[in-house]
Amino acid sequence: MVALRHLASADEALLLTLARRVWTRQSPDQVISAEDLDWIRARSPGIEIILSSASPKAMLDVAVEELGADRATYSTVERINSGRAKIERLREIRPDVFDPKAKVLAITDTSYGEDHCWTEYFTCVVDINSPTPFAPIVPQASPLRAVHSATVLTREEQRRRAKGAPGYLDPRRKGRAAMATLDLDREALGALLREPLAKINQVRTQQAPLPRPWEAALALSKLTEASRAMLTVPWALSVGPEPLASC
């Protein structure tokens, strides 16, 4: 909030200049390019691409310009655009996104789990290069039908690989990501996560409530985290056509 207050009082032209410098400096680490968005539009004519970030407006203005996105939501002094705030803001600008008939693909790095609530609102979610991917167990009312987790190379890693470098992955990555894909359908997922799912449903349906409400929330959080951890693997992961639902 302190940083946002400072930015709110700064010259807008200066902020854009600084944001472009940040964009340029971090470009080797970029995993999504304008060409990627062009490819998406070619496959899905008429699609609208919205960027949603906790970063300030100047950074998103540059991102929209550089990537060719349609619009963006960002943090302000009045609202930190993170977690459920992203959902609230998206509902304000495009309420039809949450129409059951809408086709929405929600992609995020969710590196700190800040976007995990997306599984309660979208039919398909994808995490990119995240150490904390989406949990495969969701509330029964969730519209979610597929979860994907992918390792995507940065521009610099792609450059190194093109030159034939055997160690092309950035050393900041934990271990070497295996270039393989694991697909889990509902039956396979159910077999793998049968125990944590049963415990989650037991907590939700038990007759005698826990002494304090937060204890149930904590228990559910730990069990959901455990289910996610069981699927945290060093390869691309797809869960579908339907994640497991808890009651």
pLDDT at 99 over 60: yes
Burial of 92 (0-12, 13-18, 19+ CB in 10 A): exposed
> Between 236 and 243, where is the model more confident?
243
- Tell me the pLDDT tens digit for each residue of 108-151: 998 788 899 999 999 999 999 888 888 888 888 899 988 898 88
243 vs 172: CA distance, rounded Å = 31
Structural domain boundaries in the chain: 2-186+235-246
Cα 209 from Cα 32, distance rounded (Å)? 46
**Which segment, 78-92, 183-197, 212-226, is predicted with the most confidence on average?**
78-92
Q: What is the mean pLDDT of the chain?
A: 86
Cis (ω within 30 of 0) for the bond into 241? yes
Nearest Cα neighbor of 104 from 89, 82, 126 is: 126
Strand boundaries in 37-104, DSSP class E = 50-56, 71-75
* pLDDT tier for residue 172 given thresholds of 50, 70 and 90: confident
Half-sphere exposure (Cβ direction) of 83: Cα atoms closer than 13 Å:
6
